[in-house]
Amino acid sequence: MQLIKELEDMLTAVTQYDAISLQPNSGANGEYAGLIAIKKYHESRGDHHRDICLIPISAHGTNPASAALCNMKIVVVDCDANGNVDFEDIKKKAEQHKDRLAALMITYPSTHGVFEAAVKDICSTIH
């Protein structure tokens, strides 16, 4: 923490800004942190084989990129014409990959601005 404070102080001096923060503001940082936590959870239980991450086709590019950085295999889930996750497809893929399923990554509201009507059912299917 001291090093970060020193870097912020140096940047403040050079730029003459009132303050500088090195805190990442990208949602991709949160995605990555969440997936690392999920991966570590599975590993703590001896489930090292859980490496599948379901991601809707409507997701923006950082979602599969974050999963790939965590060495997860991405399985794409279909969406309907309105941007909703295709519930039948997610059920099918969750069942197909149940022995290796690590996570589902959905953006809520979705990239299309959709609040998934079936989000509770989707979560129940995954868990």
pLDDT at 110: 76
> Which pLDDT does position 17 carry in this prediction?
93
pLDDT at res. 71: 95
Q: Where are the domains of the chain?
A: 26-126
The model's confidence at residue 113, banded by pLDDT at 50, 70 and 90, is: confident
Rounded to an integer, what is the distance from CA 114 to the centroid of its chain? 17
What is the CATH code for 26-126? 3.40.640.10
| Mean pLDDT, range 13-38, rounded to an integer | 88
Residue 112 has pLDDT above 80, yes or no: no
**Dist CA 67 CA 6 (whole Å):** 32
pLDDT of residue 30: 87
